[in-house]
Each structure stands twice: as C-alpha cells, then as structure tokens.
Structure 1
C-alpha cells in the first residue's frame, strides 16, 4: 500500500460509475473474461441490489469488492450452477462475495486481504451465516487462506476459470481470530471508514448462567427458590427493612413516575455517607455503566494500563477489546495466596501508566489491601496516572478510601451498591473522585440514569447502616464456616475478605469445568475461575457465600460430585455439613 493510509469505505454513486469503468479495464481488457464494449464499462443486473466496498488512495480507486445480499435478484453463481447441485443451503443467511479487485500499482500490497476482511465484517455484522464466492483460479489460494473451502466445482467465463468456494461465518471468524498480525498491519495501513469496526467487538463474559435455569423470559420466576446462584456474588440477605417498606408502600407510584433528573437526592445521600462534597459524586446504573462510560473517554489505543492478574474480567475487556490499549498484567501468585506485593507494584506504577485498576477486595481472590497500602500506591503514582479503585466488596472489610479523594487528585473510587447492600437488581453505583475527573463525564451522563425505585432503594439503604453492618458480620462468619468445610473436602481455600471464596480443587477430583457442569445438573451454579486470570489453571472455582442452610447444601452437592466420602483420610459429609 502507499505511504499514506488508504481509506476503505462504502461506494457512493459517483464511485460506482468509476467501478464500472474499472471492471471493463480489468475483466474485459486485462484478463479477457468479457468482450470489450464501446461504452468501456461493465455492469450487470445484480448492481441494482449489491453493495460495493472500495479502497481509495486519495482520489484514486485502488480496489473494490462487491457483496450480494440474499434476495429476489439471486446471485452471480446462479448463472453457472443449479441450486440443486450446490453443496450448501441457499437461504436468507447466504451472502456472495464477488469482483474482488485490486488495481495495478497496488497488487503487491495486502489490499486484497483488507478488502476481503471488509466484506466479511460487513456480512458478519448483518447476521450472515454463510459466504459463497467464485474465485479466479490464479488467486484461489487467497480465498483458501481466508478460511473458505473449495467445492470441487468450477466454471470457465471467457478466458478465465473460476472455482466455487464457500464457508460458514463461524469458520471464517475462527480464521480471522488467528490472524492478529494481519489485522495489526491492516489497522496500521488503512483508514477504516465502514460502519462496522475491523475487529469484531467481543462480548464480556460474566457469571449469571443460573438465569438460564430460571428463564430469561421471566415466565417461571418461582424457580429461583430451587436454584443456588453461587456463580454470581449477589448478597445472600434481603435489602434492609426500610428499603422494602418504601418500595411496598409506593411501588405503583415509583414505577410510573419520572425520577429526579440528576439523581440529586441519591447524590446527596452518597456524599453524606462518603464524607465528600456532592461535586465528587457521579451516579451510574451499576459499576459497568461507569466503567464503560469513563474509561473509553479517558484512554485511547495509545494508552497503557496496569491490571492485577487475576482480577475482575470486565476491566480487561473494556481496555483491550473496546479501547484497544496496551494492558500490563501484574501477576498475583498462588504460592503467595494471591496477595499483592506492594513493593513490586509500586515499581510498576512508578513507570507512569495512564491507568492503574485495583479491585479491592479483589475478585476472584477475595484478598484486600488496607487503606494505608493504597496510600503508598497513590504516593508512588505519577500525577498523570489515574488510580482506579473498585470497591464493590469493600463494605465487607470496612477499609474504603473514598475520603482520600480530597488528598489525592489522581484517585477515582468506583463503588457498586449491588453486592453489599443487596441491590444487584436495582443497578446503583457511583464514582467518587475529584470533580476535575467527573466534569466531562457529567456531559456524557444521560438524565434519569438511575430509575426512581432504584434511587429510593439506595437512599433508604444508606440510611440503614446498622442493619447492613450486622449482615456483613454474619457474612464473614458464614464465609469462614464454608472455608472450613471446603478444606475438609481437601480443597485449597484462599483466605478471602468478601462474600465469596476462591478455591483450588485437589488433583484427585475432576477439574473445575467438570465440577461446575456436574453441579448445574443439581441446580447449583458455580464459577469456573480459569478465564479470570492468565495462570489460575483448570482447578480454580469461585463460590458465593450464601445463608447457612444453602451453604450446607452446596457442600453436600460438592462432596457427592467429588466423591470425597470414598477417599481415605477425608471427613465424611455428615462431619463437614453438621
């Protein structure tokens, strides 16, 4: 490709006319598929319904590709093959790629691969399930490398032989996922101006598989009574009585009434609870809302971020898959109980990354940092480095650093009220930071970002401190009891400080994924933690702490599945669950 970046975009009508002339030059004059004509242009009936994607080198047409969507007009392959002889189904998911053309002067580049990628992404983003093409035999290898299969059928058109190729979108996606270096080169050389991104945005996996057993259509909500949803970290206890009373008394009105536009009452209640000015609080509909709202605004693909490894996966997803910035993972070692080595972390941070994310207590490990340790980290961070502390589980330990935002201008605290306040379904969270961090985010915050029932529930929860403190203390006791029972099963339990536990199952029982799958058959949902870190291995399980009765049932199920009662030296189930 040329020294400057080539633009890949959709073709305008004026560009289409240039494509028709280019088609004549290439397909009639150069390779002899068609006879030359006096108009010096080639077009056909499919041009009424197809889409052209083009590569423009300044004002010069460098290449193009045509996409024929499903529809009454049919496909170009219909001219050569009967549909009954095709080795694939022709349905509403079939798209055709044709006329992949690179003009002279650009054929030594990777422009053909870029146009092929553009066509694939265009089709994939529109729900296509299969792609068909007739590729010129001389360049068939390019189609095969892209993941397409040769059907063994061919056709001669003028002086040119074409081979019939096809592939499922899933197959092509697998091929693309393995060609990261090619994607990097295309990104460096091309100004991608299609309505779909070059890289398919990845979805972020969370726990919550349990809802499949209930039904996402909400037709059988009563099933929740028989399911143990320990794959998510929702509170085992109900919201405070004051929360329930307010909702019961006023719910019809709350549901039909617009809330305060900027959550003014909620912001005031949060600020009072944190001991900071209201200008230091930005509300959101759960911490995910705030993560997705703030980080893409503050960071670019040129930014550098530091994450703990393992940690909550949404941060890596947003930083790597959404923003595309460079992520450095600070390793937490099993041999050290996944504790954070403050001295080593300070060395990493002193190099001046744009962002440091610390989930405290961390998930999935449950290990926490003290406020004093976080102050050491803040002191080491250069002024340009934002230090983001996720305190979703901090109330279980009582070590919040929200008040430190007055002393540290680079500190941002992200706090969800989902877990510790039993409000996961309400989706309430906030950022606590200097107002200089929040100013531009306020302009991106829609009015009524938190619903009225949720605002009322959160305010009443903040007024019920004594109730929640009792519940947090109960959670610690339940967690410690569950840890003891898991150790009796031979599991290596990481000492945590939140409402969950990370444990490694012994070598003589099935791996985590097998245990998780077997538990689902018993309506117990756990989290295989393997994907939450780069070296957790295949034997790490994260479990949410529930009430005492439910915890005993979980231990019974795990004992049965792991076969612990049959292994010498292991306590019987009667002993562990009593």
Structure 2
C-alpha cells in the first residue's frame, strides 16, 4: 500500500535505524528478522519506558524479555525501518505474558493447544492515526488463523479497549496495572474474529494504501470455490454407504448420465488389482499418443493433467500475477473466477451475458472487447451454466482479431455434445496465443478418473511441462481415457440420446412453469416462476427428497434469486426429477397463495 509523505519517528534512533527519507515509500508487512528485532526492542523502550512509563528507562535503551525467544514478531516497515509491530505467543511457549499478572488457574477461559496470545500492538506516534493499528492487528489475526488457532487472548490498555473491541476481542473483568498503565484481559474465538476480518480487509483495500505483504500466507484467506457434489452428504462422505447412490439424484453436478464405454469397464474390471498397485507411465506417453491420433494434432502440442482444475491452477498460477488483466464471461464456470480473484488476485473484467438475450454471447461486442490488451481471456464454450455455444467459424474470426500477446484460453469441457468438428484443437495447435482445455469428465463419463489435457502450440506448453509432475494421471485413469478415446461410436450414440433427453426434460420443466433457456450440453439453466419458491427454497425442498440441484448464483452474473441449473439424466431419472419438482412447486405455490 503506497504511503505518501511519511515523516520519521521523533526520537533519534541508533545509526542503523535511520532513514534519510520516507517520501514515496511503501509499507511492508513481514516477520521480523534478527536485525529488525533489535529495532523492535529499541522501539519497545521508547514507547513503554520513555513514553508510557510502564518500565523504567535503562542505559541500553532496549526492552526485551524471555518470551522473545519464543514469540513471533510481525513488523510494519518503511524503507527497512520498523515503525510498528505486534507480537504473537504460540501455545508451544512455556507461558503467556498475561501469566505475569494472572494465575493460569484464575483465567476465565481454557488454556489449550490452540490458544495464541497477541501482545504489544505498537505504532510510532507519527503513524497512530493511520491504518497501521488495523493492519498489524489484521496481520496477527491472519497469522493465528493460518496456523490453526481457535482462540486468542491478551491484555489491552484499558483506555483503548473500545479499539480492541472493534477488532472483535471481548473485554473481561480482570484488570491489572503495569507501571502507569492499566490493562484489561481480553479473549476471543478466532471464528468470531473472522466475522470482522472480512470487513478489515475490505476497509484496508478501500483506504488507498498498498501493502507489500511478505508474510508466508495470503492477505485474505481464499474463499473456497463452491462446486456441486452436495449429494455426497446423502450418500456418505466416507464411502461406507455407496449403495445409497440409487436413492439420490445428483443433478447438482454435470456428470454424464451414461456409463463409460464397455471397453473402459472391461479393461478396468479385468485388470483392477494390477492397475491399482502399478505405477503408470510417468509422462502419460500412451495417453498422449492416443489423443494425438484421435484429435489429429502433434504429440508436442498436448499436455495432460489430472482434470481441468489441475491444469487451470497449474497454468494460471504460473502465467499470471496480481497485475495481470483477465477477461472472463459472466456468468461462467466458477473455478475461473475463484483462481483468478481469490487465489492469484488478478484484475478481472467480466463480459456480462444478458438474460434478456438468453445469455447468448454477443460476438461483435466480444470482438471489440478483446482489443483492450488483456493478458488472458477465458472463454468456456459451450458455456456453463448457460449452455450457450459460439460456433467455431465465428469464434475463430473473433480470436484471429485479438492481439497476439493476449493469451486466450478456450474451455471445451462440453464440446463433444455439440460435435467434435466444432472444436478449436487443431486451430490452437498452430496458433500463437490460443490454448484449448479439454476435460474428459463430462463427455466420456470419466468424472471420477480426473483426466484432461491442454492442446496448444508447443511454445505455449514448454514452461508448463517443466512444472508438470511425473505420474500426473493415475494408471486406471490413463487406461480408461485411452479406451474411451478409441470408442467414438459408443459415445456419439450417447450424445444423440442426450439431446433427446434434454429436450424432453426441457418440455417437462416448461410445463411445470419454469422458464428454460436454450442449451447444447447436458444441462439446462432455468428461471423459476415469480409465484413460488426462490432458488434456495427450491433447492432445499428438493434436497429433502434426495434431489440435488445447483444454484448458479455463485458463478457470477447479475443477482437473480430465481435461477437454477439442472443436469440431464436418463429417462427414468428425469421422470423422477420432474415428479419431485412438480410436487415441491405445487406446495410452494399453495404457501404463497395462502
């Protein structure tokens, strides 16, 4: 966070502690080095002895204690000069500082292995009206949170208790005095502090500051990316009751409704013990050979991965930084927004898809947007959760007009439902800047196997090969993927059936009163009628009947409490879904009327 026109602390520090200028400098937050600890001890003397009279001044001009051998100091610096600090005593320490004043047996809270003490929040006088108190307190909270702490304790100056309470700390009745200063005991659950922490982070980010955050954990704890799969709570997350799968409809994920090809099942069944105990080809050589032959691209233009998420994390974290500009569709597959914003912290621009236009991509507007010098553009085609598809001819024209230094990532997870001829794999193989990501989960019924690959010109994949671990795809998964790729006839028949099943499901939902948007894939985006349950209520009511549907609201787009996504299943299961949805819809309509 860039800090303008900073002035030095009034007392003259030792020569090693001087800085010629604070102008146009940067606050950095880090763990204190051995040299910086000496600056902290000097500041402790200046503040707690010379200023506050809590300790007697001493000739050495420093204050340190035995806990400093076990404490962690987080410091705020400008040009290497410490101007603020906070100390954390871990539960592994022989004691806490508060035990100098209160017996452990008299403490009004439990002392356990997840209790951390936060102490000595201090800022030099010239910066006490800045955000440093908040920033250091937040840094200490993130330290405790990232280390698995569940509770914090400490003592705060009684005259500043309202400040600590704003942080979320609870003031306890116990009060003591050290020198001329009165202190009050404090305690809080980390879960309670976390409720305030989000507000701290947003406030700091809005303050106009820029922080060089050097702590070994991110500034904000990344929020988990919400995916489907809630149905495992009904089946059993420890897999001991897998027989329940027949009673549960997992329409909150987009797994194929059909089984893998018979050759896949036969190979895995006949060789499973050997496949499970045997190391796979380290570089997925046979899988790459098969992809190359079936897709008609060179082997050096293919990079395998353990599912598309593996490739997304691996590539994006390697290519991008916080300064990177990225364009994504909105709404689109939530993993992209999560990685770009929560994990890397890129500057993300959303290309809004209009529900009034049935979420179809405005290709002319997209073409115009691509000239804005993005580092990366992410296009999911067909898109999820919308189910809309940009035809290959149109998309190639758009991509060919983009700046050559803008890398374009095209996710074709659902492309085979449209047709292999619509894929951009062969185009990407000779493109300077286009990368196609292909998942084998949804179209080959291999979601549990976690197999995917990138197809791009070899120069785009070189740096990623260097960070691809050996055996990245397990042997059963490699065998399954090879056999699946070789059985195009089987899967083409399943794709044709999917189109028919999707149309029948769409008609059934329309008859119930849902608005169904056009789709080319194995799912439908729907809008619930105004007279009835909203998305969360509908999902909860269906879940009570073992039908799991997906709220697409966390994938972006304008807020809409009536959107819902439904996966296409086999005919019998689609019928069961329609019966459940109809009964739930009728009941919710009756409630709204009464």
1:235 is aligned, of 245, 250, 256, to 256
The partner residue of 1:435 within 438, 455, 458 is 458
- Match for residue 360 of structure 2? 339
Aligned match of 2:582: 559
User: Corresponding residue for 1:247?
Assistant: 268
Are the aligned partners of 1:366 and 1:497 in contact in 2 as well (CA < 8 Å)? yes
In structure 2, relative to structure 1, the CA distance for the partners of 1:210 and 1:181 (3 Å cut) is closer
2:528 to 505, 522, 526: 505
CA distance in 1, matches of 2:452, 2:522: 18
**TM-fit CA distance, 1:533:** 2.0
The Cα shift of 1:207 comes to 0.7
Contact preservation (8 Å) 2:429, 2:455: no
State the partner residue of 2:96: 75
**Among candidates 155, 158, 164, match of residue 179 of structure 2:** 158
Distance 1:351 1:40, change over 3 A: closer
1:338 CA displacement: 0.8
- Asked if structure 1 preserves the Cα contact closer than 8 Å seen for 2:332 and 2:384, the reply is yes
The alpha-carbon deviation at position 180 of structure 1 amounts to: 4.2
Q: Tell me how large the CA RMSD over aligned residues is.
A: 2.2
Query: Does the CA contact (< 8 Å) of 2:501 and 2:570 recur in 1?
Result: yes
Q: Select 2:44's aligned residue among 19, 23, 46.
A: 23
Structure 1 residue 14 displacement after superposition: 4.6
Matched length:
567
Q: Distance in 2 between matches of 1:41 and 1:358?
A: 59
DSSP-derived class of the 1:178 partner: helix
Task: Say if 2:406 is the partner of 1:385.
Answer: yes
Matched, 1:455 2:478: yes
Q: How does 1:223-372 map to 2 (within 5 A)?
A: 223-372=244-393
For 1:573, the equivalent position in structure 2 comes to none
How far residue 337 of structure 1 moved from its aligned partner, in angstroms, is 0.8
1:146 to 160, 164, 167: 167
Residue 510 of structure 2 corresponds to residue 480 of structure 1? no
SS of the aligned residue for 1:121 comes to helix
Q: Which one of the candidate residues 516, 525, 550 is aligned to 2:573?
A: 550
Out of 296-305 and 164-173, give the one that drifted further.
164-173
Q: CA deviation at 1:16?
A: 3.5
Distance 1:192 1:354 in 2: 23
Q: CA deviation at 1:349?
A: 1.2
- Report the Cα offset of residue 147 of structure 1: 2.9
Instruction: Write the deviation string for residues 275-315 of structure 1: whole angstroms up to 9, x where unpaired.
Output: 11111111100000010011122222111111111110010
TM-score (norm: length of structure 1) = 0.93
Partners of 2:134 and 2:200 within 8 A in 1: no
2:539 alignment partner in structure 1: 516
Partner of 1:576: none
Does the aligned pair in 2 maintain the 1:337–1:494 contact within 8 Å?
A: yes
CA distance in 1 between counterparts of 2:338 and 2:108 reads 39
The answer on whether the counterparts of 2:533 and 2:588 sit within 8 Å (CA) in structure 1 is no
1:409 Cα offset (Å)? 2.0
Residue aligning to 2:552: 529
Q: Is the 8 A contact 1:417 1:424 kept in 2?
A: yes
Post-superposition Cα deviations, 1:327-348, rounded to whole Å, max 9, x if no partner, equal 1111111111111111111111
Q: Contact 1:559/1:565 (CA < 8 Å) preserved in 2?
A: no
Q: For the residues of structure 2 that align with 1:479 and 1:118, how far apart are their CA atoms? A: 51
Report if aligned partners of 2:70, 2:93 keep a CA contact under 8 Å in 1. Answer: no
Instruction: Give yes or no for contact 1:8–1:55 (8 Å, CA) kept in 2.
Output: yes
> Can you list the C-alpha shifts for 1:157-208, whole angstroms capped at 9, x where unaligned?
2211223333322232222212345433789543322211222122211111
1:212 corresponding residue in structure 2? 233
Contact kept, 8 Å, 1:378 with 1:408, in 2: the verdict is no
Contact 2:430 2:456 in 1 (8 A): no
Q: Which stretch has the larger CA shift, 235-244 or 109-118?
A: 109-118
Are the structure 2 counterparts of residues 351 and 45 from structure 1 closer, same or farther at C-alpha, using a change threshold of 3 Å? closer
Shifted more, 103-112 versus 428-437: the winner is 103-112
> How far is the alpha carbon of 1:469 from its aligned partner?
0.2
Structure 1: runs of 5 or more not aligned:
568-578
Q: Structure 2: state its 5+ residue gaps.
A: 1-5, 7-21
* SS of equivalent to 2:237: coil
Asked whether the equivalents of residues 288 and 302 of structure 2 are also in contact (C-alpha less than 8 Å), the reply is: yes
Instruction: Give the Å deviation of 1:383.
Output: 1.0
Q: Which range moves more in the overlay, 157-166 or 119-128? A: 157-166
2:135 maps to 1:114: yes
